[in-house]
Amino acid sequence: MARELTNQTAVVTGGSRGIGYRVAEALLAEGAAVCICGRDAERVQKAAASLARNGAGPVDGVVADVRRYEDCRRLIHTAAERFGGLDILVNNAGIGIMKRIDELTAEEWDATIATNLSGAFYCSREAIPWMRKRGGGYIFNISSLAAINAFAGGAAYNASKFGLNGMTEAMMQDVRYDNIRVSTIMPGSVATDFASIFGGTARDPWKLTGEDVAKAVLDLLKYPPRALASRIELRPAQPPRRK
């Protein structure tokens, strides 16, 4: 198969496991150079080594905490300088702390908003000038169906993802004439470590996989440049029936 992303550079935040790892893997298989990040140095290093063994393009791993603006700046600049530019940004890093509003601490609230919302703003803010230099690019924000469906115990997570959808839609309109496309991908339950937050497991067979989300990213990248699928709701086809 022809590799369609040769000479393109991508940054995937939270690419050390879960959905981000699968997105990085899929981009690499299409020939892109990919830089992943995460907070845990050992995990980042192991993931980058494993991606490098199997991928077609070059890989880098940067230890960066997307809650910090300086880390996001360093991440984007490291990737763009090492690989000669930046074309694709996947804002994927995310956490979920599910607690009733009156049990949620201020620190837990701040961490959720900082990771899931501010991190995507910081990385996009730094990535856009690099994409303009290339004549365009693509930003994916991995949101959630929790961005349109609030639930008990979801105050911080729902707020972060509702906010992410709003920011993404405004950003899409800000940068469309710079030839930068922006899409929100809103998955339902995906079989990753994240699943335990909802009392499930990463092995539930009805769940989406990281590969399913990665396929959405690749499919959108291959759309004709005149077309923009700005919001994707990606659901498990057959979740357990509600009793």
The footprint of ligand NAP (CB under 6 A) covers 13-14, 16-20, 37-40, 43, 64-67, 92-96, 115-116, 142, 144, 187, 189-190, 192-195
Choose between 57 and 96: whose C-beta lies nearer to ligand NAP. 96
Residue with smaller CB distance to ligand NAP, 178 or 211: 211
Active-site choice (21, 122, 138, 157): 157
Nearer to ligand NAP, 4 or 42 (CB): 42
* Minimum gap (Å) between residue 80 Cβ and ligand NAP: 18
- In the bound complex, what is the minimum distance in angstroms from residue 76's beta carbon to ligand NAP? 13
DSSP sequence for the chain: ---TTTT-EEEEETTTSHHHHHHHHHHHHTT-EEEEEES-HHHHHHHHHHHHHH-SS-EEEEE--TTSHHHHHHHHHHHHHHHTS--EEEE---------TTT--HHHHHHHHIIIIIHHHHHHHHHHHHHHHHT-EEEEEE--GGGT---TT-HHHHHHHHHHHHHHHHHHHHHGGGTEEEEEEEE--BSSGGGGGGT--TT-TTSB-HHHHHHHHHHHHHS-TT----EEEE--SSPPPP-
Residue 162 C-beta: closest distance to ligand NAP, Å: 12
Closest approach, Cβ 219 to ligand NAP, in A, equals 17
157 classed as catalytic: yes
**Catalytic residue ranges:** 157
